[in-house]
Structure 1
Amino acid sequence: MTPLADTHVHLLAGLDDGPPTADVALAMCRMLVTEGARHATALAHQNPCYPDNTADRLRASASALASALAEQNIPLSVYPTGEVMLAPTTLEEWRAGHLMSVGDHKQWLLVEMPHGEFVDVLPLAEALKPEGVRLIIAHAERYAELLDDVALTQTWIEAGCLIQVTARALAEPGAPEFEAALKRWAKGGFIHLLGSDGHGIERRRPKLAPGFARLVKWVGRAHAARIASEWGTAILRGEPVQVPAPCPLGRSWFSRLFGA
């Protein structure tokens, strides 16, 4: 079984709209193990709705969860992470130490758009580059402006951003146009990371395996494993990651991968 890495799952009890209690958080972790996950973000929102979610608070909560997992022999490694809502103050907040990077390695920030808005991440991406920090676009499939414009997506990737998609969106895309756009992203090499965006055990369950299966169908098992396992695991551990450039329009994924 491919050991999956969930790069977007809310596991910090009582900190946001994720699990309300530690018991629910542990139940989610058991679900993830059943799904094939061995690594996962211990994630909570960092936005104006949750002003108390400081980096220190997320760090302490993730540490408590890791201890509970070890005590109960649940084979899931968890990594403190903030889901940062983009704002004019994001750079200032990062430099002040208020924001939690992915895995607390100070290499990647997981960012989402403000509610109902779409903003250009390039200025922030460029400002963070000298500090060795890059952006991961959380649940990127939500943003039609990005999903429907592969040239824009390619520009963001060239600026150092990685694209994360939600497993359920891949497994249950719904509208044919949405499925076609996701498939175009997958086959073109525009998807780098998989997340469940799990929030609980009754709603928005942490499901990864069906999304991974859809990636296998679209791009083959080897590349699906890079997206759903290898790259995510490396990022969560703080290890270097090199992803290939997206496929230029009109050139096949096979050609780009093998230099044909």
Structure 2
Amino acid sequence: MIDLHSHLLPNVDDGSKSLRASIRMAKAAVDNDVTVALMTPHHMNGHYVNHKPDVIRLTEEFQSHLDNNHIPLQVFPSQEVRINGDLLQALDNDDILFADESNRYLLLEFPDDDVPTYSTDMIFQIMQRGITVEIAHPERNTKIMSTPSILFDLIEAGALAQVTASSYVGTFGKKVEKFAEQILSHNLAHVFVSDAHDLPNRRYELAEAMVKVEKQLGKAYQQLLESNAEAILDGNDVTTLLPEPIVKRKFFSKF
């Protein structure tokens, strides 16, 4: 499998805190049937800045460590970019890494509890440049959870969404699990990712998520998620299904 979102690079963000931890996480990835992984350290999120040349260099160094330890994992440089007012300038300055070498797919992160009001306009401007935005972990964003039409509108406009495998299998609790299931059943997600960190409850659960989605939504859907990850990595078109809005139930009091 291909993992498009992970925090294995040591000492660059809230992921791995040491090379030893990174090696351990890489072994866990391989045990979870992952053969290729993008290194996506946080960039421009208010806490961490990981410039493009640094990520490329660190990823090459990490690949050497993997090879020396005979770990069959191929890694490529990328970033998890926080939406912010300087993002367009960073694109102009060539300081942004994509999921693919053709610079087509950009992993974009919102704050955990909000989708800034300027997001729709900025994403439109990004996509006007021929870039497709991949939204990171929408199932854990409290604003999207309370107003799922935000995600529907972005997907209808041409964005893609990643769902973290651990969310889908219940590691982040029942509420997040239920919303992840709704996102998938309403055709609002396009790939599973690990978003692995060296933290409790942030381990590799991609294989488990693939088993669950096959049971819930069928083998064809599971294969679509796998093939989409490969398509994104190669800069090719993904397969999308017609998105459906998630309608929240309304409860009315009787007086």
TM range (shorter): 0.7 to 0.9
Aligned-partner Cα distance in 2 for 1:179–1:79 = 29
- Deviations 1:206-257 (CA, angstroms, capped at 9, x unpaired): 3322222221222112211221x2111221233332323324679xxxxxxx
One-letter amino acid matched to 1:82: Q
Q: Which secondary structure state, in structure 2, belongs to the residue aligned with residue 131 of structure 1? A: coil
Q: What residue is the counterpart of 2:133 in the other structure?
A: 135
Q: What residue is the counterpart of 1:256 in the other structure?
A: none
Q: What residue is the counterpart of 1:211 in the other structure?
A: 209
Going from structure 1 to structure 2, the CA distance change for 1:43 and 1:118 (only over 3 Å counts) comes to same
Q: What residue is the counterpart of 1:5 in the other structure?
A: 2
Q: Is the 8 A contact 2:2 2:229 kept in 1?
A: yes
Q: What residue is the counterpart of 1:244 in the other structure?
A: 241
Going from structure 1 to structure 2, the CA distance change for 1:144 and 1:55 (only over 3 Å counts) comes to same
Going from structure 1 to structure 2, the CA distance change for 1:246 and 1:111 (only over 3 Å counts) comes to same
After the TM superposition, which residues 1-260 of structure 1 pair with which residues of structure 2 at under 5 Å, given as runs?
4-47=1-44, 48-51=46-49, 53-120=50-117, 121-172=119-170, 176-200=174-198, 204-227=202-225, 229-247=226-244
Q: What residue is the counterpart of 1:254 in the other structure?
A: none
Q: Quote the offset at 1:203 in angstroms.
A: 5.6
Q: Quote the offset at 1:27 in angstroms.
A: 1.6
Aligned-partner Cα distance in 1 for 2:111–2:102 = 24
Q: Is the 8 A contact 1:185 1:191 kept in 2?
A: yes
One-letter amino acid matched to 2:42: H
Going from structure 1 to structure 2, the CA distance change for 1:69 and 1:175 (only over 3 Å counts) comes to closer
One-letter amino acid matched to 1:36: D
Q: Quote the offset at 1:126 in angstroms.
A: 1.3
Q: Is the 8 A contact 2:104 2:235 kept in 1?
A: yes
User: Which structure has more helix as a fraction of its residues?
Assistant: 1
Aligned-partner Cα distance in 2 for 1:71–1:87 = 38
Q: Which secondary structure state, in structure 1, belongs to the residue aligned with residue 128 of structure 2? A: helix
Q: Is the 8 A contact 1:28 1:201 kept in 2?
A: no
Aligned-partner Cα distance in 1 for 2:173–2:21 = 32
Q: Quote the offset at 1:76 in angstroms.
A: 1.9
Of stretches 158-167 and 179-188 in structure 1, the one that deviates more from structure 2 is: 179-188
Q: Is the 8 A contact 1:8 1:194 kept in 2?
A: no
Aligned-partner Cα distance in 2 for 1:113–1:212 = 25
Q: Quote the offset at 1:49 in angstroms.
A: 1.5
Structure number with higher relative contact order (C-alpha < 8 Å, ≥ 6 residues apart): 1
Of stretches 198-207 and 129-138 in structure 1, the one that deviates more from structure 2 is: 198-207
Q: Is the 8 A contact 1:41 1:103 kept in 2?
A: no
- Deviations 1:135-169 (CA, angstroms, capped at 9, x unpaired): 11111111233245454322211222111111111
Going from structure 1 to structure 2, the CA distance change for 1:12 and 1:225 (only over 3 Å counts) comes to same
Q: Which secondary structure state, in structure 2, belongs to the residue aligned with residue 99 of structure 1? A: coil
- How many residue pairs were aligned? 245
Q: Which secondary structure state, in structure 2, belongs to the residue aligned with residue 102 of structure 1? A: coil
Aligned-partner Cα distance in 1 for 2:74–2:173 = 35
Q: Is the 8 A contact 2:105 2:134 kept in 1?
A: yes
